[in-house]
Structure 1
Amino acid sequence: MSTVSEILEKLKSLTLLEASELVSKIEETFGVDASVSTGGAMMMAPTDQGAQTAAAETAPEEKTSFDVVLEEIPGDKKVSVYKVVRSVANIAVNQVKEFTSVLPKNIKESVSKEEAETIKQQLEEVGAKVKIV
């Protein structure tokens, strides 16, 4: 018989008072609170290190590099959008149409927030739909 099965059999034979004492001892020993309802599982009380780790995991990382994504080019604005795309992406005139044939398309990757905003503004001024990710 496995250890888990043995423990389970012993738990079945406990009285209500003994079960209550067992819960108290488990709470003390493992630093948990059995009164917290988490869908049937006991919740661990955070230790100092656990609290720091949890805080670090929940603190959002500040993003420092952004991608400018061209989502849509209106049919009547293609020429003006192509001009801006050509200068921003630094590609030849004859490559612009092919470059923008499949949208959405990353026009510029890993740029600063300010540069991404400037590029977005330039493209929106000529009628393109753009987002920053």
Structure 2
Amino acid sequence: MATRCSSAIRTFSRTCRAATRPRVFAGPSRCLTTEAAASSSTSAPPPPADPKLNKIVDDISGLTLLQAADLVTLLKSRLNIQEIAMPAAAPAAAPAAAPAEESEAEKPKEKTVFNVKLEAFDAAAKPKIIREVKAMVPNLTLIEAKKFVESLPKVLKEGVSKDDAEKLKKTFTDLGATVTLE
């Protein structure tokens, strides 16, 4: 109890001494001087009078760089703002290359990945096609291959390169099946 009282008395006496001491004004701090000089040399617009805007400015100035970047992308997506490339100083040859790029962009891009779809087959070629499907699809039993072939049209392989898709199409066409590439 005595230690609590003595600490309270010390705290009280410190505040009383601080209040009775005369305060000497030392002038503006160095930071304030540089800020004042900077603000007087540049004509910055006055801060907005709206307290809501002041709060938004305070919140934004407290963000980290990553948070500010996320804020910008979020605002662009929510307000549907598109990126606009600023024109840069470029050599005179750059505008001549632009029409060539446009003609390339207008051409439809050649498809490189295909899905091989088995559409139909000849009844006489059914056993050969079932064997070929079983050989092509790993972990497929003969019964599952038969059900697969009987439930046509079905996609045989997905995401196949153009060369492989052409080979598969030729193989099944030679056996008597109708195959399409999608």
- 1:41-86 C-alpha deviation (Å, 9 max, x unpaired): xxxxxxxxxx799756632112110111111021111000111111
Higher strand fraction: Structure 1 or Structure 2? 1
- TM-score normalised per structure 1: 0.55
Is residue 122 of structure 2 the alignment partner of residue 81 of structure 1? no
RMSD (Å) for aligned C-alpha atoms: 2.4
Q: Give the match for residue 35 of structure 1.
A: none
Letter paired with 1:123: F
Is residue 104 of structure 2 the alignment partner of residue 65 of structure 1? no
Point out which structure has higher relative CO (alpha carbons under 8 A, 6+ apart).
1
SS at match of 1:124: helix
Q: Give the match for residue 110 of structure 1.
A: 159
Is residue 177 of structure 2 the alignment partner of residue 128 of structure 1? yes
Q: Is the 8 A contact 2:117 2:154 kept in 1?
A: yes
Unaligned runs of 5+ in 1: 1-50
Q: Is the 8 A contact 1:88 1:119 kept in 2?
A: no
Letter paired with 2:130: Y
Q: Give the match for residue 32 of structure 1.
A: none
- 1:23-43 C-alpha deviation (Å, 9 max, x unpaired): xxxxxxxxxxxxxxxxxxxxx
Q: Whose Rg is larger?
A: 2
CA distance in 2, matches of 1:117, 1:89: 17
Higher helix fraction: Structure 1 or Structure 2? 2
Q: Give the match for residue 29 of structure 1.
A: none
Aligned length: 87
Unaligned runs of 5+ in 2: 1-98
CA distance in 2, matches of 1:101, 1:69: 14
